[in-house]
Amino acid sequence: MKNVFLIFLLCGLTGATVSVWAQSSRLQIGGYGEAVTQRMFYSDNVERYRYPESNKEATHGRFDLPHVVFYLSYDFGHGWKISTEVEFEHGGAGSTVEIENEETGEYETEVEKGGEVALEQFWIEKSFTNALNLRLGHVIVPIGLTNQYHMPTEFFSVLRPEEEAAILPCTWHETGISLWGRIPAWRYEAQFIAGLDAERFGNANWIQGGSASPYEFTIANKYAGAFRVDNYSVPGLRIGLSGYFGFSAKNSLKADRYVYTYVDDNGVTQRENINGSVSIGALDAVYNHHHILARTNVLYGHLGDSYTISRVNSKLPSASPSPRTNVASDVLSWYVEAGYDVMAFFPERKYKADKLYLYGHYGYYDSMYKTAKGITAKEWCEKRIVSVGLNYFPLPQVVVKAEYALRKFKAPFNQEPTLSLGIAYSGLFL
């Protein structure tokens, strides 16, 4: 009788263990994070672009935690799944004081959405087939290479590639609806989201500030659409095409300010509402084969009604979250980087999974590539980025980075070299 009881008890415990394991296998916990130190061999004076001759000799340094993200996902079954990412940027403060270096060097408070932390993703998904999935909630907008592949193990540089991160929200996340799917050799995604807020556009970063709302909600007076298509037909090669279109002029608390005023042929002053349409197209590719890892991204953007938006923003009160600077009608950004895994020369090494990429990077971007008539472009907004470095992967989820980068300007502006070191991780804990 005792043996029978023990058998039933053992079976019960085993069944409970299997049940718990089956439930926990639906749960995924992970994340990514970066710790960085940098030494900049140039002046951090806020007026270094206005008076380059007086700011030639200077250095400064930084320690930073650019992004620390915790990821949680659970599969309920029957095609239903939830996922969320909570991000701590630069140590996690939601409100920071910084010095504006575009114009007068005044102090301003930078307010980021989410309070002390940012909710980068939160969505509920229903999967019908591999080719059809519906996702609703707060999602990543997959425009360009870095927004879609923003883990620190997915780019060579210590910080995210400047050519994209300086002019687009990065990581760009919005609340909306996403439809995506995967068929052999293809993946697609289409999104319906809120438009950007033209009030926070500026000369140095174009539309970058137009996404993260400083309010407790995201204004959605106007809407936008985004899409992405990736092809995997060639072994080791992925090619992606992405695009965005939406209106921005009415997505502020005082939308009636964005009007175009003119005098008609009869001498009567007329006022017309503007749309501030934002159009972005990007082509990117990644090649990972034969110990070679190479990436490229080309991006072009256009802002309609940029003259009126610039004039309105320049007159906003100092308490506004706007940089209150002119904004370009067109921007251009591109870069290419390639690395080779030198550990391939040592096939008999003890740890076969480690990799050491020596890489080079060259890129260009201009946040005022073209401007409307009456808007003068800032010459320092045109930059070229040259960098070399290494990425060491002791494990696929961990990378140690070292980089020397040079930000190059046309005369009379001074060149800006930077030495950066970083360590990062990206992966699932459970």
| Residue 23, H or E segment | helix 2-24
Q: Output the CA angle 409-413-419, nearest 5 degrees.
A: 65
Contact 341, 393 (CB under 8 A): no
Residues of the chain where predicted confidence (pLDDT) is lower than 70: 1-24, 92-116, 262-265, 268
- What secondary structure does DSSP assign to 241-302, as a single string? EEEEEEE-TT-STTGGG-EEEEE-TTS-EEEEE---EEEEEEEEEEEEETTEEEEEEEEEEE
Contact 230, 186 (CB under 8 A): yes
* Of residues 337, 348, 335, the one with CA closest to residue 292: 337
Contact 196, 224 (CB under 8 A): yes
Q: What's the pTM value of the predicted model, to 2 decimals?
A: 0.87
**Distance, CA of 359 to CA of 354 (rounded, Å):** 16
Residue 13 in 3-state DSSP?
Answer: helix
- The residue assigned the tokens 């020596």 is 358
pLDDT of 111: 53
**CA 248, 320, 66, 84 torsion-angle sign:** negative
Name the DSSP letter for residue 3. H
Q: What is the largest CA-CA distance in the chain?
A: 107
Beta pairing, strands 223-231 & 80-89: unpaired
pLDDT of 303: 97
pLDDT of 362: 98
pLDDT by residue (tens digit) across 234-265? 999 999 999 999 999 888 877 778 887 766 66
- The residue assigned the tokens 């940098």 is 38
pLDDT of 144: 96
pLDDT of 186: 97
pLDDT of 10: 39
Q: What values do phi and psi take at 137, rounded to 5?
A: 140, -145
pLDDT by residue (tens digit) across 263-292? 666 776 777 888 999 999 999 999 999 999
Chain centre distance of CA 4: 61
Contacts of 6 (CB under 8 A, 6+ apart): none
Domain boundaries along the sequence of the chain: 30-428
**Distance, CA of 212 to CA of 210 (rounded, Å):** 6
- What secondary structure does DSSP assign to 299-341, as a single string? EEEEETTHHHHHHHHHTS-TTSSS------SEEEEEEEEEEEE
pLDDT of 23: 53
- CATH topology (fold) of 30-428: Porin (2.40.160)
Around Cβ 22, how many Cβ atoms within 10 Å? 9
